[in-house]
Structure 1
Amino acid sequence: MANAVEEKTLCDDDIRYEKERWFSHTASVVFGLFFVFVGVPIWWRTTTVYRADLPYSEIQQAFNAIPNLRIDLEFVIGSEEVDPIAAARFGEVLQETFARMNNVKGFVSVKYQGTVRLALQQELQQLNALTSEELDSFPGDSGEKYVFYLVRRLKAKVTLPYINNRRQIFLALPSGKSDYVIPQAEAVCEELFRPAALSRSFQVVHGEPINDKELLRSLKFDPTYTVVFSLLVSQPDQVLASWDMSTAVPEYLYDLQTALSDYVDIKVKSQVLYYEVLPIQPKKEENKGYYYMTPKDMPHLINPVEARLGSFVDTNPALNFIVYVPTREQYPLHLHDEQGKKVLANSFLVPRWGGFYIYNVNTTADSYPVVHQVDMEQVFSELIPQLRSLLGIAPISESKILQQPTVRTDSFSHWEIDQWLRQRTVENIGTTTHALYSLSNLVQNIRNMIINDNISEQVKDSVAAVQQSHRLLTRGAIHEAFLASKEALISAEKAFFDPSLLELLYFPEDQKFAIYIPLFLPIGIPLFTSTLAAIKWFRGKRTDQQKEKED
């Protein structure tokens, strides 16, 4: 009896033990499966860096694309001596010349397309009676087309070739020598449309090393500039100078702001700073009784003064123009060039920064301070050419090839705006594609860089705008092409400098192991070994059951 009870107890213990083992191994398997099929996917999902799609192939194509600029020309033969047959022959020679010019290799391709026609009778009468005053207002609306008038002689006393403020060029046409015009026209096109300068601009912004002082002088394009004029009065107790900037800005900068208003926003600010003395003691010219500074002194004038020019906190690129009133002991103060000669302008330009102008005020007086009102016409006549140069507008200078009308430096001709638009469009396309290409390489090389949807949209918008700008350039629509390139540049820079790109940029892959191994190893090893033991137990259990059935 006792043995039977003891056997029953042992049997119950075995059953209980088997049940406990079954529950234990089942729990291990469940935990293992839960970890593999639930925990790991959740961890993977929550730690995966989100990367929206980018148009890599389109970015590569845009980076490799070369801008093709179309220039539309029309040649009007204003001579009764040229018959239609001679005009047709001239047109054939002209097309051959354009074909040769269009095949010139470069980073930017300029394609010339021209037509030839005989002048109408009314045009002949107008050309023959044209005076010098009427030359800049010759009738005719050519749109964005450049019109070359080939004339036998002009009543106007000008030297040909001549370009007026519009897109009209006047070339001399010798009697019976229409082919003589071809070399002149080719030289004018090189001077006016500057294909070599456009290629250099594209090279620089596309990352190609090149040394070009003209390109390094102008400020990088931005939709908005802040121009700050600062009057530095070194001794207000001796010379109390002041200016009326509120009246001068509309008078002298209105034409500049208006001409560029569709393309760039120019904000103007001014300030007057007192007790600002130059950190360099000028040298004295004993024979001529004035003080002077050399080109070696000029770089040292900017840094000490620049610290005082930060009154305007602005995120836009700033152009600083300083008008310095010397002290009584420095009067008169002038600048010398590298040859030791006096600089007539008494000013110098600081590339991509601004300009510096020394404004001398006669301090000889019976009583002090000497109250002086700054001559704004004198100031702006010196600073506006510097402003034009810093904005990238070709300076007005007498060309050896093409004569220009004498105009005020604060006004612009149509072809000057066209030059600026072509230059800036090429630069914007190059800067945009280079930024997109750099971003594309970063994203592909750094796998943990976050790419949000807004960055993807900005990149796609930028690529589409670049492609649109290329198409417009091939159609000769320079104004619309510039606006498209401007939109592309804005979108590309927003995407490239988006703060979200830096969130995990400085989190290398090897640091992940330092974080995840201490977290998962203490959990993973026991879970793995227990799950493996459970699987072995269930397989052994199944084997025992099969043997029992066979027995």
Structure 2
Amino acid sequence: MQYPLHIRLTAPGLNEHAQSSLAARVQADLDTSADDQLYRFTVLHGSHNDSNIVSAERDWDLLVSLHQEQPSKLEATLQSWVPVLDVRYAPNNEADELATFISQEILKVYEDEQKSVSYLLSDTAFAASTEKTLDLDDKARLDSRATRAFKYATTYHLTFSLFSSSASPSLWDIDGALDKYVTPLLMQLSTISHFTIDTQIQLHASISPSIAGPQLDAASGKWQLQKTDLSGFVNAAEWPLSPSIGAGPTINFVLYVPSEDQSPLEIAETGGTSWLIPQWGGVQILNSSGKLSPRLTVENLEQVMLAFADQLTALVGLPPSPPSLSVRLSSLTRERATSLILSASSTLGALARLSLKLAYIAIPGSVAKAVDETIRRLDQACLDLREGRFDSALANARVANDEAERAFFEPSMVGQVYFPDEHKVAVYVPLLGPMAVPLVMAALKELRKLRSGKMKSA
């Protein structure tokens, strides 16, 4: 596996020769500074098309835009929505100093992704190709991220639920709030997965009886939930939160409005009002400063939707850094493609070992066809990775993983796994035994007759 990343460097204040020389210096620094064989940086230089910055058809992964100013020191800023790294420098900066600074900033942009990919490849046959070492803090952080995120799926179903402990609020402008605060994020994530959405309201919703419940803090006058109560807060017995509403995994987002006599309600240890439940969803408590309105407007839901959007990024596995959403999405594409390649390879290996161990299993033609398709797609996905076609790599890896699982869980083969020859003997012997006994006895009787006849004739 390899991940080629193309960096385009543009400096309107420098002539063509100076830009070419600076790009060559940055390339040399990246070649010597990069401590991972998986990532291969290629530095380009020259102008670019502004309308192509957000397009998937661009010929670069990160744009380094140099601006000649008079800062007290070299500065770099990664834009939030597009893969553009703005570098400000002074005319008196040395070329070598500027090149070193740019190369270090580029490595910082992809540092967390390299750690994540190294984490994915650890304990696999590809581990030898990476030299990125992870300390205990990095491993703990990546373990936590992998634990809370859902397993990759082509489609996720999002359920937004309003649970009110009383009869109010009974309405909410959820469609407008979703369009304004959540849909733009889903459009960005649509290159990786698809999303379906539904909403619901339930009044007089009580908190799960399995927890102690809110306790009034006399000092602050606030009702508080203990941290140990958060995991059992959701009332699974009475709240309609089905885990299989949509085609894919369901991600639940619960907005809970406490009653006036238990408001404001917050988490005791942190004072927060929202928390994430790993591989399930997120919960947000909405406290009202006065009498609750029967309808929650888009303005009332602004902070709630922003919290849900942040929780969604964690639940689908979007890296928390760097600050540019576009770069994070590209990183997630490479990570998901890598994980699917590893998953498909592992499933295919398990199927091969199973067929060798249980030689009596007949391999259906559909399984052979699925295996051929898996291998073909895996080869293409790895080729796409090496050539920098990351979206195509993800698409081929997704198909390879689906085909591998289809082959492994073929119903006719699964049945044979649980009924080997020993089981068949155990099943049929009791049935054939009563039939065999008279036949054996008759055969023995005939043998005795034949033997006695020979003895008489002798």
TM range, normalised to the smaller chain?
0.7 to 0.9
CA distance in 1, matches of 2:287, 2:9: 51
Are the equivalent residues in 1 in contact too, given 2:281–2:315 (CA < 8 A)? Answer: yes
For residue 259 of structure 1, give the secondary structure of its aligned residue in structure 2: helix
Query: Could you tell me how far 1:385 is from its partner in structure 2?
Result: 0.7
Q: Which of these residues, 190, 198, 207, is aligned with residue 261 of structure 1?
A: 190
Matches within 5 A, 1:504-519: 504-514=416-426, 519=432
CA distance in 2, matches of 1:528, 1:417: 78
Query: Could you tell me how far 1:78 is from its partner in structure 2?
Result: 4.1
CA distance in 1, matches of 2:171, 2:338: 42
Whether 2:209 is the aligned partner of 1:316: answer no
Whether 2:317 is the aligned partner of 1:392: answer yes
**Could you tell me which amino acid in structure 2 is paired with residue 151 of structure 1?**
H
Whether 2:393 is the aligned partner of 1:481: answer yes
Query: Could you tell me how far 1:371 is from its partner in structure 2?
Result: 2.3
The residue aligned with 2:355 is 443
* Equivalent residues, number: 421
The residue aligned with 2:87 is 171
For residue 235 of structure 1, give the secondary structure of its aligned residue in structure 2: coil
Whether 2:219 is the aligned partner of 1:287: answer yes
For residue 98 of structure 1, give the secondary structure of its aligned residue in structure 2: helix
Query: Could you tell me how far 1:137 is from its partner in structure 2?
Result: 8.0
CA distance in 2, matches of 1:205, 1:297: 38
CA distance in 2, matches of 1:172, 1:524: 98
Query: Could you tell me how far 1:160 is from its partner in structure 2?
Result: 2.0
Relative to 1, partners in 2 of residues 1:205 and 1:364: Cα closer, same or farther, differing over 3 Å?
A: farther
Query: Could you tell me how far 1:453 is from its partner in structure 2?
Result: 1.4
1:88-144: per-residue Cα shift (whole Å, max 9, x none)? 654454333333355625xxx1121223x4x56xx9xx9xxxxxxx999899x8444
For residue 263 of structure 2, give the secondary structure of its aligned residue in structure 1: coil
Are the equivalent residues in 2 in contact too, given 1:394–1:416 (CA < 8 A)? Answer: yes
1:297-325: per-residue Cα shift (whole Å, max 9, x none)? 21121364686312864452110111001
Whether 2:9 is the aligned partner of 1:75: answer yes
Relative to 1, partners in 2 of residues 1:162 and 1:177: Cα closer, same or farther, differing over 3 Å?
A: farther
The residue aligned with 1:422 is 334
The residue aligned with 1:380 is 305
1:199-233: per-residue Cα shift (whole Å, max 9, x none)? 2134489999x651112221111011111111111
The residue aligned with 1:355 is 282
Worse overlay, 496-505 or 321-330: 496-505
Relative to 1, partners in 2 of residues 1:135 and 1:168: Cα closer, same or farther, differing over 3 Å?
A: farther
The residue aligned with 2:78 is 162
Are the equivalent residues in 2 in contact too, given 1:207–1:434 (CA < 8 A)? Answer: no
Matches within 5 A, 1:210-359: 211=140, 212-236=143-167, 239-278=168-207, 279=209, 280-302=212-234, 304=236, 308-310=240-242, 313-314=245-246, 316-336=248-268, 340-343=269-272, 346-359=273-286
CA distance in 1, matches of 2:51, 2:380: 37
Higher relative contact order (CA 8 A, sep 6+): 1
The residue aligned with 1:198 is 117
Are the equivalent residues in 2 in contact too, given 1:469–1:480 (CA < 8 A)? Answer: yes
When normalised by structure 2's length, the TM-score is 0.79
CA distance in 2, matches of 1:272, 1:206: 49
Query: Could you tell me how far 1:271 is from its partner in structure 2?
Result: 1.2
1:145-167: per-residue Cα shift (whole Å, max 9, x none)? 32222333289xx9523335323
Query: Could you tell me how far 1:87 is from its partner in structure 2?
Result: 5.4
Worse overlay, 93-102 or 355-364: 93-102
Relative to 1, partners in 2 of residues 1:307 and 1:373: Cα closer, same or farther, differing over 3 Å?
A: closer
Q: Which of these residues, 422, 436, 458, is aligned with residue 370 of structure 2?
A: 458
Query: Could you tell me how far 1:191 is from its partner in structure 2?
Result: 2.6
1:13-49: per-residue Cα shift (whole Å, max 9, x none)? xxxxxxxxxxxxxxxxxxxxxxxxxxxxxxxxxxxxx
The residue aligned with 1:182 is 100
Are the equivalent residues in 2 in contact too, given 1:150–1:172 (CA < 8 A)? Answer: yes
CA distance in 2, matches of 1:420, 1:463: 23
**Could you tell me which amino acid in structure 1 is paired with residue 94 of structure 2?**
K
Are the equivalent residues in 2 in contact too, given 1:462–1:487 (CA < 8 A)? Answer: yes
CA distance in 2, matches of 1:387, 1:309: 17
Structure 2: tracts of 5 or more residues without a match: 128-138, 448-458
CA distance in 2, matches of 1:420, 1:481: 12
CA distance in 1, matches of 2:4, 2:104: 15
CA distance in 1, matches of 2:439, 2:239: 60
The residue aligned with 1:545 is none
Structure 1: tracts of 5 or more residues without a match: 1-66, 127-133, 405-412, 533-551
Query: Could you tell me how far 1:326 is from its partner in structure 2?
Result: 0.6
For residue 228 of structure 2, give the secondary structure of its aligned residue in structure 1: coil
**Could you tell me which amino acid in structure 1 is paired with residue 215 of structure 2?**
K
CA distance in 2, matches of 1:296, 1:204: 34
CA distance in 1, matches of 2:371, 2:144: 32
The residue aligned with 1:537 is none
**Could you tell me which amino acid in structure 1 is paired with residue 103 of structure 2?**
A
Are the equivalent residues in 2 in contact too, given 1:205–1:431 (CA < 8 A)? Answer: no
Relative to 1, partners in 2 of residues 1:472 and 1:312: Cα closer, same or farther, differing over 3 Å?
A: closer
CA distance in 1, matches of 2:278, 2:223: 25
CA distance in 2, matches of 1:326, 1:207: 51
Fraction of identical pairs, as percent: 20
When normalised by structure 1's length, the TM-score is 0.67
For residue 222 of structure 1, give the secondary structure of its aligned residue in structure 2: coil
**Could you tell me which amino acid in structure 2 is paired with residue 417 of structure 1?**
L
1:483-528: per-residue Cα shift (whole Å, max 9, x none)? 1111112222222233222212122332344456674966997999
1:381-426: per-residue Cα shift (whole Å, max 9, x none)? 211110111112234x6x6xxx75xxxxxxxx43232122112111
Are the equivalent residues in 2 in contact too, given 1:205–1:427 (CA < 8 A)? Answer: no
The residue aligned with 2:135 is none
1:37-73: per-residue Cα shift (whole Å, max 9, x none)? xxxxxxxxxxxxxxxxxxxxxxxxxxxxxx2111111
